[in-house]
């Protein structure tokens, strides 16, 4: 949302009110500070051990007075979080026009990813304006007979990435200092993995595959920012902590993550956003999920779906490390998720209504 917010705030014809729910405060405020965004409202919802029931009801009640007081013409929500669903529901209850950024993504499996697939389908039924990133997303919405206007604009995640890299260039030395314990002269494999649907044996398989890759290739460096979830930390620590060329580090804020991604050779991930961001930087992506709502990257050749299969993760990574043609074929494929102009397209469309 950052590039959309920044663009809207610079336009005198648009009055913008930024509301955050206050979840994951440390990560949230790092991003707000990085992009120099000051929220107008903070619901401060973060509580220990809260459930989806807690977040949903607290966010909905928190939004009610804000929507009534600010009285917006449009409510923008992005993606597939519970926050996005609640924002759309609040807009529906108050009869405001709901605009959905990153609309139309579908895995076609209601329980994977969970609860994201359910959230984005629910938002799709409440929005009047669907800003879809790709042709496949547009087709998904049409096949569901989504009401309202469907427009293909690319994804703002690419706008945010390019904006973020421009900001980073001003303090590049600070980032190198932060990662001084990582040998950046080596080929870096960046790993992110934390999805709850992989917990148990699938996640064990992921970690065992990473261990094999590291053991077979002492000349590379694997960097894994480990999610705070104890289900992730226990397995990662047990399987990977004794390898010299596997660096287990604390979770990274957005600017450090995209800086490290830019230094990497290959990305292994179960993240949605990284599947879109890494190809913009020419980094092949191996997607460690059984299904993905971002098949455009797979079709375009920028990503491969390897699931949580030990043999497939190892073999596809080995291929990229040893076959230059296979590597360049993925690295040079055209990113289907946009060219960095999505925010401007959204604003232009809004002003044309």
314 lies in a domain?
yes
How high is the pLDDT of residue 230? 81
Q: What angle do CA 310, 249, 223 make, to 5 degrees?
A: 45
Report the domain count for the chain: 2
Q: Which of 106, 120, 130, 194 is catalytic?
A: 194
- Helices 25-35 and 156-168 sit at what angle, rounded to 10 degrees? 70
292 lies in a domain?
yes
Band the pLDDT of 196: cuts 50, 70, 90.
low
- Helices 2-10 and 25-35 sit at what angle, rounded to 10 degrees? 40
How high is the pLDDT of residue 197? 62
Arithmetic mean of pLDDT over the chain = 93
201 lies in a domain?
yes
Q: Which of 96, 178, 227, 233 is catalytic?
A: 227
Q: Is the peptide bond before 2 cis (omega within 30 degrees of 0)?
A: no
Q: How many helices (H) and strands (E) does the chain have?
A: 16, 12
How far apart are the C-alpha atoms of 353 and 227, rounded to whole Å? 42
Q: Which of 116, 117, 159, 316 is catalytic?
A: 116
- Domain check: are 345 and 252 in the same one? no
- Domain check: are 194 and 151 in the same one? no
- Domain check: are 132 and 236 in the same one? no
How high is the pLDDT of residue 24? 80
Q: Which of 102, 117, 296, 316 is catalytic?
A: 102
- Domain check: are 142 and 227 in the same one? no
Is 80 considered catalytic here? yes
- Domain check: are 76 and 137 in the same one? yes
How high is the pLDDT of residue 334? 85
Is 116 considered catalytic here? yes
How high is the pLDDT of residue 198? 64
219 lies in a domain?
yes
Q: What is the pLDDT of residues 40-53, one digit of tens each?
A: 999 999 888 889 99
How high is the pLDDT of residue 48? 86
Is 96 considered catalytic here? no
- Domain check: are 186 and 323 in the same one? yes
Q: What is the pLDDT of residues 204-255, one digit of tens each?
A: 999 999 999 999 999 999 999 998 788 788 899 999 999 999 999 999 988 9
pLDDT for residue 169 is more than 70 = yes
Asked if 137 and 104 touch (Cβ cutoff 8 Å), the reply is yes
**Structural domain for 216, as ranges:** 173-331
Q: Which of 80, 117, 277, 296 is catalytic?
A: 80
Is 296 considered catalytic here? no
- Domain check: are 226 and 194 in the same one? yes
327 lies in a domain?
yes
Q: What is the pLDDT of residues 285-316, one digit of tens each?
A: 999 988 888 888 999 999 999 999 999 999 99
- Domain check: are 91 and 207 in the same one? no
How high is the pLDDT of residue 232? 86
- Domain check: are 300 and 151 in the same one? no
CATH code: domain of residue 134: 3.40.50.2000
How high is the pLDDT of residue 195? 67
- Domain check: are 147 and 185 in the same one? no
Burial class (CB in 10 A: 0-12, 13-18, 19+), 251: middle
- Domain check: are 343 and 305 in the same one? no
């Amino acid at each position: 949302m950052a590039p959309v917010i920044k663009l809207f705030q610079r336009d005198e014809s648009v009055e913008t009110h930024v509301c955050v729910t206050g979840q994951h405060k440390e990560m949230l405020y790092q991003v707000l500070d990085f992009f120099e965004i000051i929220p107008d409202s903070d619901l401060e919802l973060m509580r220990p051990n809260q459930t989806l029931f807690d977040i949903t009801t607290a966010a909905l009640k928190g939004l009610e007075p804000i929507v009534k007081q600010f009285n917006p013409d449009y409510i923008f929500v992005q993606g597939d979080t519970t926050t996005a669903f609640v924002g759309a529901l609040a807009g529906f209850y108050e009869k405001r026009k709901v605009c959905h950024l990153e609309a139309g993504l579908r895995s076609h499996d209601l329980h994977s990813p969970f609860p994201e697939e359910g959230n984005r389908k629910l938002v799709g039924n409440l929005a009047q304006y669907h800003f879809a990133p790709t042709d496949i997303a547009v087709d998904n919405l049409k096949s569901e007979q989504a009401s309202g206007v469907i427009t293909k604009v690319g994804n703002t995640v690419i706008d945010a990435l390019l904006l973020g890299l421009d900001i980073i260039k001003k303090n590049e030395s600070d980032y190198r200092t932060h990662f001084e314990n990582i040998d950046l002269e080596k080929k870096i494999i960046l790993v992110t993995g934390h999805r709850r649907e992989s917990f148990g044996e699938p996640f064990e398989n992921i970690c065992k595959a990473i261990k094999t890759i590291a053991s077979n290739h002492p000349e590379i460096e694997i960097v894994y920012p480990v999610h705070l979830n104890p289900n992730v930390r226990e397995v990662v620590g047990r399987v990977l902590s004794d390898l010299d060329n596997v660096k287990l580090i604390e979770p990274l804020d957005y600017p450090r993550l995209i800086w490290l991604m830019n230094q990497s050779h290959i990305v292994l991930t179960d993240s949605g956003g990284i599947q879109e961001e890494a190809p913009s930087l020419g980094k092949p992506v191996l997607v460690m999920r059984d299904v993905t709502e971002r098949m455009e990257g797979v079709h375009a050749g920028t990503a491969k779906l390897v699931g949580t299969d030990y043999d497939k993760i190892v073999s596809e990574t080995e291929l990229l490390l040893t076959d230059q043609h296979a590597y360049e074929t993925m690295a040079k494929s055209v990113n289907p998720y946009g060219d960095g102009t999505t925010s401007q397209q959204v604003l232009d469309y809004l002003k044309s209504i």
